[in-house]
Chains A and B, each alone.
Chain A
Amino acid sequence: MAIIITKQNRVIIQGITGREGQARAQLMMEYGTQVIAGVTPGRAGEEVHGLMVYDTVSELVAAKGPVDTSVIFVPAHLVKDAAIEALENGVKLIVIVPDRVPVHDVLEISAHAKKHNANFVGPNTLGVLSVDEGILGMIGGKASSAKSWFKRGNVGVTSRSGGITSSISYYLSQAGIGLSTICHVGGDAVIGMPHNKVVELFQNDPQTDLIVMFGEIGTSQEETVAEMMKAGKITKPVVAYIGGKGAKKGTRFSHAGAIVEGNKGSWEGKVTALREAGAHVVENFQEIPAKVKEVLAQKK
């Protein structure tokens, strides 16, 4: 069944006439995503790869019927307005691809999403791909590549790095391990669906038997996953790798940060918390496929 994106999502693209919007509209459609139409203010009446362009989301909905998913490609400083527009027009899931969205804008998007009982992935995300179901965003770049790189199966991938989302998934497929959904949660500190939310969806997804998580230093997402495992909320096996082992610690400037976050965010802290919770943490990235095979074999 996969998570986040399936053939059932009715998807729109905000910022469809831009360089990335056009290219990724083609990718998503050719992969099989149900893309309904696109939005760019001031460009109503144009077409992109056969998709109608509307000025606003409400005009799109009036013409094409309700939609539930939007992928945003507008410039970073316009993302907040586009996201709120989508939420106020019934969209329940937004994928925010652009990088450099101001964090206070993300806080506002988050508050609006909660009000509308909706979710968002990103910002600064490559997107989400469910094998043989659909793509939201730009994973794979071209449909032909996405089809040949990622094979269908029972492993879910969640990653803080876009490039690594693709590379882990490719190397797993090459090793004969199939995938349900692969998700780049986004590279920023404040993101709509951090690891813990994605892992929770995988836990409830009948297609997924094992979760691969690529974590990084900073934020407390991986620690939260560890807490959920300890609390018995996550029972499926988790294979994890945490990047940034060799990174230097920056000069401290914020007392509040230290008081609130304590030791969270460090490489050691994450690895220890995950191991204590029973996750399989590998220290060499190349070991991931072998470790996944081993854990899946134990499960049977």
Chain B
Amino acid sequence: MAKLYEYQGKEILKKHEIPIPKGAVISTADEAVAAAEKIGWPVVVKIQTWSTGRKAAGGVRFAATADELRKHCGDLLGMKIGNFAVEKLLIEQKLAIAREFFAGFIINDTAQKPMFLFSSRGGSGIEEIAKEYPDAVVTAEVDIFEGMKPYRTLELIKKTGLDPKTASALAPILVKMYEAMRKSDARSFECNPLVMTADEKVYAADCHVVVDDYAVFRHPEFGIEIAREFDRPPTELERIAYMVEKNDYRGTFFFFQMAEAADTKEAVIGFHGAGGGGSMMSMNAVSENGCKIANFCDTSGNPPASKVYRAAKVILSQPGIKGYFSSGSGVASQEQFHSARGFVKAFLEEGLDVPASIRLGGNSEEIAMQIIADFLGGLPVQVKGFGKNDSPDSVMKHLLEGMKKNGNKGHTVKPFVLPDTKKCDYSFQTMTGSIHVERAACAACTTKACIGSCSPKILKEENGAPALAIDPKEAKKGKCIECLACELACMAKGMKALKIVLPIEGLASYREKLTKGK
């Protein structure tokens, strides 16, 4: 789930006219001092991080002078919180706080409604406070059609024993906070503390917002790079994979790396699942057989072959993996030959040097397994496709045999090279790539198998070579489904006249760094 920093949450609050302390976000000591001069001394300094318990970690400090502030900046910038280094600090005016409250809205999956939470006692340790003083806490489901009505909000928070003056000062702010939660597509939106100052003004002193991953597209203003929860900064390879995912809406592609696999002597597996539930069970089969997983990857929801191909190329950008294990639910609704073709193109281009066991159970699994056997049977390492009656455990055991036969050698990452199209004199664009034909080479071909293999039937014969039978714009829009069948059909006839180019942004330079040795 995509999290916002405190300062981003406060920008939303400001937009909804909820008072926040004067402040500025900075990333150097000089900026901090300049900001404090503007705000007025003393100031509070707060690390910007995606976790709770910041105060206990020493991430909230006060400064009355420039020297003090510089010292805090020195301590806090670059400080490690979990796996993240602190890059930004929020400098704010120090409020004369008289009272602290907790206020939040969260989506309740059982009620299928936003839920309002308020506590007349707030501040750090709110979870313990809520347990200790249940009477201070009030919760209520919010009706989507009604929203938070001011009078109802007042009624609710008065149940916590607030005096009329305080309650009526807070209620309008909570109404606005609900609007902010809805407008920012937040799964949770919290202010802890919401404070009242000595001069009886209300401010949101802190703000935690978790944005719905599926709605991030509506909010370019949040600048969320990867709409997903990470407990560490994403790796470069994860960023590359995310771009593939983002630029192709067909099916799912999800990739992340496991840190714990990096420094292990245990056999490390490149994992390629299909579907969440089946992937989880398949990963169990890996660990139960004494292996570690280098990465998690999921291509599902009927992805095109091109997406499975790119996923395989990303997985094979991890040096040292000793085997490639692909396994999903086992009984897939999608046509499994698409995935099979994706694997074939990737494995052949890479000159696969570690064994692969591919569990392809589901629709047309016989064809899928045959494709794997026909094209990859000749590789020097063991590669085999499996069907729905093969369990993840038995397929994993087969992979272990292959790894043994391969002397438990690890995978060497090769430079990323796109197919050579210099001799090709005909081409057209697809949704995420392009198809190229060396027409002179087609003259010798009697079958024109590429045309026959095309499942959307968009190729025709023109002067003895394949050509688009439809408007090229239509092909690019998605009429060409990037099933890769034409390229494989050409290859099956011993030809290499038709080539499909599917770029992966950033992968060439990533691999170059790897192969040159960091």
Contact = CB atoms under 8 A, between A and B. Distances in A.
Interface of A: 19-20, 75-77, 99-104, 106-108, 110-111, 115, 126, 138-142, 145, 149, 159-164, 166-167, 169-171, 174, 187, 189-192, 194, 214, 216, 219-221, 224, 243-248, 250-260, 285-286
A256 B190 contact: yes
Contact of A140 (B302, B333, B388, B481): B333
Contacts of A248: 231
A259 B122 CA distance: 13
Given A164-B278, A166-B333, 16 more contacts: A104-B182, A104-B212, A107-B107, A107-B114, A111-B112, A162-B300, A163-B278, A163-B333, A167-B331, A170-B330, A170-B331, A253-B208, A253-B210, A255-B208, A259-B126, A259-B130
A255 B331 contact: no
Task: Report whether over half of chain B's contact residues are helix, strand or loop; otherwise say mixed.
Answer: mixed
A132 to B, nearest CB: 18
A251 B329 contact: no
Contact of A104 (B215, B276, B287, B329): B215
A166 B365 CA distance: 14
Interface in B372-407: 388-389, 391, 393
A190 B102 contact: no
B517 interface: no
Interface residues of B, number: 76
Interface string B184-220: 0101101010000000000000001010111101100
B144 A256 contact: no
Given A255-B104, A256-B106, A250 B388 contact: no
Contacts of A245: 284
Most B C-beta atoms less than 10 A away, residue of A220, A247, A255: A255
Contact of A163 (B104, B112, B217, B331): B331
A254 B192 CA distance: 10
Nearest to B393: A286
Interface in B104-129: 104-110, 112-115, 117, 126-127
A82 to B, nearest CB: 16
B274 interface: yes
9 contacts: A99-B301, A159-B277, A160-B277, A161-B276, A164-B277, A166-B333, A246-B287, A251-B50, A255-B102
B278 A255 contact: no
Contacts of B284: 245-246
A161 B277 CA distance: 5
Given A108-B144, A142-B363, A170-B388, A189 B278 contact: no
A286 B391 contact: yes
Contacts of B249: 75
A115 B109 CA distance: 18
Contacts of B52: 252-253, 255
A173 B185 CA distance: 43
Contacts of B210: 253-254
Contact of B388 (A161, A167, A219, A247): A167
A256 B181 CA distance: 14
B75 interface: no
Contacts of B481: 19
B328 A163 contact: yes
Nearest to B137: A259
A295 B88 CA distance: 59
A139 B217 contact: no
Contacts of A111: 112-113, 143-145
A161 B278 contact: yes
| Chain A to chain B: the 9 pairs with minimum beta-carbon distance, closest first | A163-B329, A161-B277, A163-B275, A141-B333, A102-B215, A256-B104, A164-B277, A167-B331, A110-B112
A294 B383 CA distance: 38
Nearest to B329: A163
Contact of B333 (A108, A126, A247): A126
Contacts of B139: 260
Contacts of A221: 109
A246 B279 CA distance: 12
Contacts of A103: 107, 185, 187, 212, 214-215
B39 interface: no
B223 interface: no
Contacts of A161: 275-278, 329
Interface string B421-450: 000000000000000000000000000000
Contacts of B391: 286
